[in-house]
Structure 1
Amino acid sequence: MNPTWGIVAVALVAVATLAIGVFGLRISRTTSDFYVASRSVTPALNGSAISGEYLSAASFLGIAGLVLTYGADMLWYPIGWTSGYLLLLVFVAAPLRRSGAYTIPDFAQVRLQSQAVRRVSTALVIGVGWLYLLPQFQGAGLTLQTVLDAPRWVGTLLVALIVTANVVLGGMRSITFVQAFQYWLKLTALLVPLMFLLLAWSRDGRPEAQAPADWWAPLGGAASPQTIYSTYAVIAATFLGTMGLPHVVVRFYTNPDGHAARRTTLIVLVLISAFYLLPTFYGVLGRVYAGDLVGSGRADTVALELPSRVIGGSAGELLTALITAGAFAAFLSTSSGVTMALAGVVGQGLSDHGPWRGRLSSIAALRIAAAVCVAVPLVLAFRAEVIPVANSVVFAFALAASTFCPLLVLGIWWRGLTAPGAIAGLVGGGACAATGPIVTLAFDVDGWWGTLMGQPAVWSVPVGFALMIGVSLLTRSRIPANVTRTMVRLHTPERVQVDRRF
């Protein structure tokens, strides 16, 4: 395939992203601008921005690759990733915004009055963020290698440099505009080629997908205990992990108030539901026209390869270039959001709580933190073996579901949570969620043991909740003295005047 159009598409997305970032720099002046866009982002803009950062490489390329390879069971991933916002809407969005915090560690400190909880939360934010950045960088390298025949490191390095530049230039204000633009680009990049692919499929006489019978059936055609467990593990990780993702949570701090946070969540539900209809079609059409990608290690490229295989010619190349632009935007938008979340947490640690306290401005600390936080997953992306993007992202969801989900739900809705309880749950739930996949990858464990370790959310999430509740009950004397004031603040709408006696 002629790579010219692909190069043009990537270049245009890169230039547009940097141009929007420079525009953000012109209106970013204060610390609040850089960290939370001065808490002035409207629900419509914020909904587009959240959707833009949330629809990552796992959504844009990974879902189509999983459906191509494994069939109907993989639809639980987009269902779970969408439904997680319903739980976020009900339990977290508005109270979290009312907390007035910048980050999850900020919320933990406000709620529990503990520097130790803050430090543990910071470490986990970094862990979840790196797990999320690694597949974005690897996916960018794979995409440019497939479309442009470029070395894999080119795409990886290009995304890392553009993301770092955008965060350093304008912080949250810049990436809000960037991510909103990139959502609509990604939607267009999948929708327009799909229309032409479906027309070609109809013209060809509507050939059926060449797949085994169990590819079409839920639970692999047989409801065995292991397949049922795996399905519920995906549900638990994706449903509960969304509310604990640092780059998702931090965006709700940019809304003006709790009511706006709820409206934002409703808009996100509509936008990502519309988007997730599209990758499924690419996976099914891949079974018709690109079945050779199954088992080749290139299933994630099915959306990129279909236009040239089905349509061909200059039209196929143009459509492939459009999909390439969308894929590149997916890497940039998600990486920008995760980097911003990490930079906000680490930057606050540098300027307010570390040995450089008082020596660095908050904005300078954020800029330094952004560069540092990108460097580690960038190096890992060069050295680590490439794994399917959707699978690797689920590891991050399981970790967030086992740690930050209990912290946020109990911190918002149960006044009895204590700092020792929070630390026990964060450490215990995080250890369970992280150890399982590591054991599976390191020792190639099979059977029930491998299933339990490889998909730990079913048991690691209850461990996190149980430890937080149990240890908190044993340390009731450590309940913060100002817990009543904090709970009133979290649950009272902004338009209601709070009695100052609280």
Structure 2
Amino acid sequence: MNQAHAVAAVTAVVLGTLLIGGLGLRISRTTSDFYVASRTVGPRLNAAAISGEYLSAASFLGIAGLVLLQGPEMLWYPVGYTAGYLVLLVLVAAPLRRSGAYTLADFAEARLESAAVRRLAGLFVVGIGWLYLLPQLQGAGLTLHILTGAPDWVGALVVGVVVTGAVAAGGMRSITFVQAFQYWLKLTALLVPAFFLLAAWAGDGAPRARFAEPPHFREQSAVRVADTVRLDLAAPLTVTVTGRVDGRDHRGRPVALAAGPHRVEAGTVLDFPEGARVPERAAPSGATGTQWSQPLSGSREEHPLYATYGLILATFLGTMGLPHVAVRFYTSPHGTAARRTTLVVLGLIGTFYLLPPVYGALGRIYAPELALSGSADAALLVLPERMVGGVAGDLLGALLAGGAFAAFLSTASGLTMAVAGVLTKDALPRRLRLRRRSAAGVRPAGSGVRAFRLGTVVAMAVPLLVSRFVVNVPVADAVGLAFAVSASSFCPLLVLGIWWRGLTAPGAASGLLVGGGAALTAVLATRAGVPGGGWAHTLLAWPAVWSVPLGFLTMVAVSVATRDRVPAGAAATLTRLHLPEGLR
């Protein structure tokens, strides 16, 4: 890919983001403007903004990478992302808007009349937001590294600086326009190259309608294996090896490998001949198959069916609890507008998700080595050069690079906005107010906005620092873990808080700690490599199957045991949540 074209495209996206975000300095005047755009965002604009921030690095790069790695079996993954909005539409959208809250922590306090639950909910908003921000920064680093060769931290730093500036400039009112613009940019960036790539595929005699078959190398290819893996050869194969295979060192000489599994150490370079089948990762000992649909075939590789259902449940129920998604519904004028917004979102997201699988399928033909090198997320960026080439390939690659960078910026903007809102309202304002009042006796006008801007800096600085130490986590998997924590904590809180009068503050706090805490602990344990394998690893790597029911059961059981602690205003609050604004 021509670096000049790619850098120009990324620069244009960054400047466009800063320009639109800078408008917030002119149109944002009040605290309400900064938090919820004064609740004046119509369904079409709001839906485009929600779609822009929801379609993250996992959507733009990760899904194509998953299809490249595992074939059509992974097409259920974007369905889970989209279907989550059906649950949100039916159960949450309108009542959440009618609550009058600014953040999920505000909702928790208003519903349960408990400052303790508010603080606990705020902690989970911050935790989920930072967990979700990490893959956005990682994806930005990967993209800029592929485009220019710059170190990974440069892309993360660019996203951090741009997002902090855009959010701090005008808050929610600014990023609403930024994210709507970035949705249409991302859709265009995928749609236009897809037509050219499909035309190139149709014209070169590549396989037709056989994407489900194992990929083959179309030309001699040298692949560096990123991590130690066990590869399964369907037939004997002679490859040139530089590194360590099956416990033996080889220094750039041909090695005849028999059919079956072989252990390849990290850093080994394998030079495959033209036409060779791309080896698959070997199934663990005792496994009966490698397809996701085969039950208990002994991580995702060990028990793929369990992992699949764990991810489906996480994406299906986790959408409603994502801080950057929930906060956008507070910007709607009323509950009816929130429902209409959700319907439009379903159409916009569904349209977008038709495209990444196309790139993943083409990647299995034209960039199969990415499945071994650990760079499957880069498939979308390298295809134009491989398939089209020349100036046209450079321009298409630049368009995709700009769209990818827009994905990082839009999602990171929404997450930073959500986390900054909680930090400002629950951590920063009290100290700022006390300091100013002790000096002058009154709080100056605009101090709330200044506190919000300070919260924005903190909201981005922490994950930016952590991203320097957390590397080599697949983008789609990292986002799936954030969904699991969201599904285990805020899904029970929202569903029971909106639809069950008997929820109490002790019940809500216990459910958040047990369900959400268990999922978060499981996520951190697997990221640390504990445990290494078996059912224990599988249960912790994909916790939603057990942590979501655990959260619900804990909230119900403790609320029943503390029924005398039902908030005095629960009936009035539920009436406000469920009656249209006109009837209230």
Query: Shorter-chain TM-score category?
Result: over 0.9
| Structure with a larger share of its residues in helix | 1
Matched, 1:467 2:544: no
Q: Which amino acid aligns with 2:536?
A: W
Which deviates the most, 376-385 or 101-110? 376-385
Alpha-carbon distance in structure 1 between the residues aligned to 2:173 and 2:557: 41
Q: Decide whether the 8 Å contact of 2:295 with 2:306 is kept in 1.
A: no
Matched, 1:185 2:262: no
Q: Which amino acid aligns with 1:92?
A: V
Alpha-carbon distance in structure 2 between the residues aligned to 1:287 and 1:339: 35
Q: Which amino acid aligns with 1:495?
A: G
Q: 210, 214, 228: which one pairs with 1:211?
A: 214
Q: Decide whether the 8 Å contact of 1:92 with 1:243 is kept in 2.
A: yes
Q: Decide whether the 8 Å contact of 1:351 with 1:358 is kept in 2.
A: no
The alignment partner of 1:277 has SS state of coil
Alpha-carbon distance in structure 2 between the residues aligned to 1:223 and 1:487: 42
Shift of 1:75: 1.9
**Which residue of structure 1 lines up, in the alignment, with residue 38 of structure 2?**
38
Q: Which amino acid aligns with 1:328?
A: F
Matches within 5 A, 1:411-490: 411-441=497-527, 442-490=529-577
Shift of 1:353: 4.9
Matched, 1:152 2:224: no
Matches within 5 A, 1:75-86: 75-86=75-86
The alignment partner of 1:211 has SS state of coil
Matches within 5 A, 1:101-140: 101-140=101-140
Matched, 1:2 2:2: yes
Alpha-carbon distance in structure 2 between the residues aligned to 1:460 and 1:350: 28
Q: 269, 293, 297: which one pairs with 2:370?
A: 293
Shift of 1:332: 0.2
Q: Decide whether the 8 Å contact of 1:219 with 1:231 is kept in 2.
A: no
**Which residue of structure 1 lines up, in the alignment, with residue 453 of structure 2?**
367
Shift of 1:414: 0.3
Which deviates the most, 432-441 or 54-63? 432-441
Matched, 1:334 2:334: no
Q: Deviations over 1:257-279 (max 9, x none)?
A: 00000000000000000000100
Shift of 1:243: 0.4
Alpha-carbon distance in structure 2 between the residues aligned to 1:118 and 1:81: 28
Q: Which amino acid aligns with 1:365?
A: A
| Structure with a larger share of its residues in strand | 2
TM-score (norm 1): 0.96
Matched, 1:305 2:360: no
- Structure 2 residue ranges without an equivalent (≥5): 216-233, 235-278, 281-288, 298-302, 437-442
Alpha-carbon distance in structure 2 between the residues aligned to 1:384 and 1:133: 12
Shift of 1:362: 1.8
| Equivalenced residues, count | 496
Matched, 1:268 2:370: no
**Which residue of structure 1 lines up, in the alignment, with residue 312 of structure 2?**
235
**Which residue of structure 2 lines up, in the alignment, with residue 173 of structure 1?**
173
Alpha-carbon distance in structure 1 between the residues aligned to 2:387 and 2:305: 36
Q: Which amino acid aligns with 1:340?
A: M
**Which residue of structure 2 lines up, in the alignment, with residue 387 of structure 1?**
473
Matched, 1:248 2:325: yes
The alignment partner of 1:443 has SS state of coil
Q: Decide whether the 8 Å contact of 1:350 with 1:357 is kept in 2.
A: no
Which deviates the most, 476-485 or 437-446? 437-446
Q: Deviations over 1:144-196 (max 9, x none)?
A: 00012222111110000000001110000000000000000000001100100
Alpha-carbon distance in structure 2 between the residues aligned to 1:355 and 1:116: 21
Q: Which amino acid aligns with 1:4?
A: A
Q: Decide whether the 8 Å contact of 1:238 with 1:397 is kept in 2.
A: yes
The alignment partner of 1:29 has SS state of coil
Shift of 1:430: 1.4
Alpha-carbon distance in structure 2 between the residues aligned to 1:450 and 1:351: 38
**Which residue of structure 2 lines up, in the alignment, with residue 162 of structure 1?**
162
Q: Decide whether the 8 Å contact of 2:432 with 2:451 is kept in 1.
A: no
Q: Which amino acid aligns with 1:106?
A: D
Q: Which amino acid aligns with 2:424?
A: G
Q: Which amino acid aligns with 2:205?
A: G
Q: Decide whether the 8 Å contact of 1:21 with 1:175 is kept in 2.
A: yes
**Which residue of structure 2 lines up, in the alignment, with residue 224 of structure 1?**
296
**Which residue of structure 2 lines up, in the alignment, with residue 319 of structure 1?**
396
Q: Decide whether the 8 Å contact of 1:244 with 1:401 is kept in 2.
A: yes
The alignment partner of 1:150 has SS state of coil
Identify if the C-alpha distance between structure 1 residues 82 and 358 changes in structure 2 by more than 3 Å, giving closer, same or farther: farther
Shift of 1:432: 1.4
Alpha-carbon distance in structure 2 between the residues aligned to 1:355 and 1:19: 30
Shift of 1:354: 5.3
Identify if the C-alpha distance between structure 1 residues 73 and 436 changes in structure 2 by more than 3 Å, giving closer, same or farther: farther
Identify if the C-alpha distance between structure 1 residues 221 and 413 changes in structure 2 by more than 3 Å, giving closer, same or farther: closer
Q: Deviations over 1:380-428 (max 9, x none)?
A: 1112122111000111000000000000000000000000000000000
Alpha-carbon distance in structure 2 between the residues aligned to 1:490 and 1:198: 48
Shift of 1:357: 5.2
Alpha-carbon distance in structure 2 between the residues aligned to 1:184 and 1:7: 20
Q: Decide whether the 8 Å contact of 1:3 with 1:149 is kept in 2.
A: no
Q: Which amino acid aligns with 1:8?
A: A
Q: Decide whether the 8 Å contact of 1:36 with 1:254 is kept in 2.
A: yes
Alpha-carbon distance in structure 2 between the residues aligned to 1:397 and 1:211: 30
**Which residue of structure 1 lines up, in the alignment, with residue 578 of structure 2?**
491
**Which residue of structure 1 lines up, in the alignment, with residue 275 of structure 2?**
none
Shift of 1:205: 2.0
The alignment partner of 2:352 has SS state of helix
Alpha-carbon distance in structure 2 between the residues aligned to 1:230 and 1:138: 23
Alpha-carbon distance in structure 1 between the residues aligned to 2:420 and 2:522: 28
Q: Deviations over 1:328-352 (max 9, x none)?
A: 0000000000000001111112455
Shift of 1:458: 0.3
Q: Decide whether the 8 Å contact of 1:95 with 1:258 is kept in 2.
A: yes
- Structure 1 residue ranges without an equivalent (≥5): none
Q: Decide whether the 8 Å contact of 2:160 with 2:464 is kept in 1.
A: yes
Alpha-carbon distance in structure 1 between the residues aligned to 2:383 and 2:531: 33
Q: Decide whether the 8 Å contact of 1:440 with 1:454 is kept in 2.
A: yes
Alpha-carbon distance in structure 1 between the residues aligned to 2:42 and 2:435: 33
Aligned CA-pair RMSD: 1.7
Q: Deviations over 1:51-72 (max 9, x none)?
A: 0000000000000001101223
Identify if the C-alpha distance between structure 1 residues 64 and 134 changes in structure 2 by more than 3 Å, giving closer, same or farther: same
Identify if the C-alpha distance between structure 1 residues 211 and 333 changes in structure 2 by more than 3 Å, giving closer, same or farther: same
Shift of 1:446: 1.3
Alpha-carbon distance in structure 2 between the residues aligned to 1:96 and 1:451: 34
Q: Which amino acid aligns with 1:483?
A: A
Give aligned-pair identity as a percent. 60
